[in-house]
Amino acid sequence: MRTYVITGGTDGLGKGLGLHFLRRGDRVIAVASGAAKGQAFLAEARRAGAADRAVFLQADLSTVAGMRQVVERVSAATEAVDGLVFGAQRFRTAREETADGLEFTFALAYLSRFVLGHGLLGHLERAEAPVVLNLAGPGGLPGRINWDDLQWRDGYSGMRASMQASRCNDLLGVAFPARHPDARTRYVLYNPGFVDTGLTDPLPQPKRAALKVLARLFAKPVGKAIGPMLALMDAPPRPALTAYLRGKPLEPAGEDFDPAAAARLDHLTTGLLDRIPAPR
Ligand SMILES: NC(=O)c1ccc[n+]([C@@H]2O[C@H](COP(=O)([O-])OP(=O)(O)OC[C@H]3O[C@@H](n4cnc5c(N)ncnc54)[C@H](OP(=O)(O)O)[C@@H]3O)[C@@H](O)[C@H]2O)c1
Domains of the chain, earliest start first: 3-274 (3.40.50.720)
Mean pLDDT of 54-58: 98
Give the dihedral sign, CA 252/10/273/63.
Answer: positive
The pLDDT tens digits of the residues spanning 245-279 come to 999 999 999 999 999 999 999 999 999 999 998 87
Per-residue pLDDT at 49 exceeds 90: yes
Q: How confident is the model at residue 212 (pLDDT cuts 50, 70, 90)?
A: confident
The pLDDT tens digits of the residues spanning 128-177 come to 999 999 999 999 888 999 999 999 999 999 999 999 999 999 999 999 99
In this prediction, residue 241 carries a pLDDT of 98
**Ligand 1 in contact with 133 (CB < 6 A)?**
no
The rounded Å distance from CA 97 to ligand 1 centre is 18
Mean pLDDT of 196-215: 82
Whose Cα sits closest to atom 40 in ligand 1? 34
Q: How confident is the model at residue 280 (pLDDT cuts 50, 70, 90)?
A: low
Closest CA to 60 of 7, 121, 103: 7
Write out the DSSP string of 66-126: HHHHHHHHHHHH-S--SEEEE------SS--B-TTS-BHHIIIIIIHHHHHHHHTHHHHHT
Rounded to the nearest integer, the mean pLDDT of the chain is 95
**Ligand 1 in contact with 57 (CB < 6 A)?**
no
- How far apart are alpha carbons 13 and 10 in whole angstroms? 9
- How far apart are alpha carbons 137 and 141 in whole angstroms? 7
Mutate to test the pocket of ligand 1, among 33, 106, 189 (most ligand atoms within 8 A of CB): 33
Whose Cα sits closest to atom 34 in ligand 1? 32
Atom of ligand 1 nearest to the CA of 215: 3
Mean pLDDT of 38-56: 97
**Ligand 1 in contact with 124 (CB < 6 A)?**
no
The rounded Å distance from CA 182 to ligand 1 centre is 31
The rounded Å distance from CA 170 to ligand 1 centre is 17
Atom of ligand 1 nearest to the CA of 37: 40
Per-residue pLDDT at 215 exceeds 90: no
The rounded Å distance from CA 59 to ligand 1 centre is 14
Let me know: does 67 contact 112? Beta carbons within 8 Å: yes
Write out the DSSP string of the chain: --EEEEETTTSHHHHHHHHHHHHTT-EEEEEES-HHHHHHHHHHHHHTT-GGGEEEEE--TTSHHHHHHHHHHHHHH-S--SEEEE------SS--B-TTS-BHHIIIIIIHHHHHHHHTHHHHHTSSS-EEEEES-TTSS-----GGGTT-SSS--HHHHHHHHHHHHHHHHHHHHHH-TT---EEEEEE--SB-SGGGTTSPTTHHHHHHHHHHHHSBPHHHHHHHHHHHHHS--SSSEEEEETTEEE---SGGG-HHHHHHHHHHHHHHHHTSPPP-
Mutate to test the pocket of ligand 1, among 162, 199, 200 (most ligand atoms within 8 A of CB): 199
**Ligand 1 in contact with 256 (CB < 6 A)?**
no
**Ligand 1 in contact with 88 (CB < 6 A)?**
yes
The rounded Å distance from CA 127 to ligand 1 centre is 26
Mean pLDDT of 170-197: 96
Q: How confident is the model at residue 207 (pLDDT cuts 50, 70, 90)?
A: confident
In this prediction, residue 13 carries a pLDDT of 97
Residue type present at position 83: G
Let me know: does 113 contact 86? Beta carbons within 8 Å: yes
Per-residue pLDDT at 109 exceeds 70: yes
In this prediction, residue 129 carries a pLDDT of 97
The rounded Å distance from CA 13 to ligand 1 centre is 8
**Ligand 1 in contact with 89 (CB < 6 A)?**
yes
**Ligand 1 in contact with 220 (CB < 6 A)?**
no
Closest CA to 169 of 126, 123, 135: 135
The rounded Å distance from CA 280 to ligand 1 centre is 31
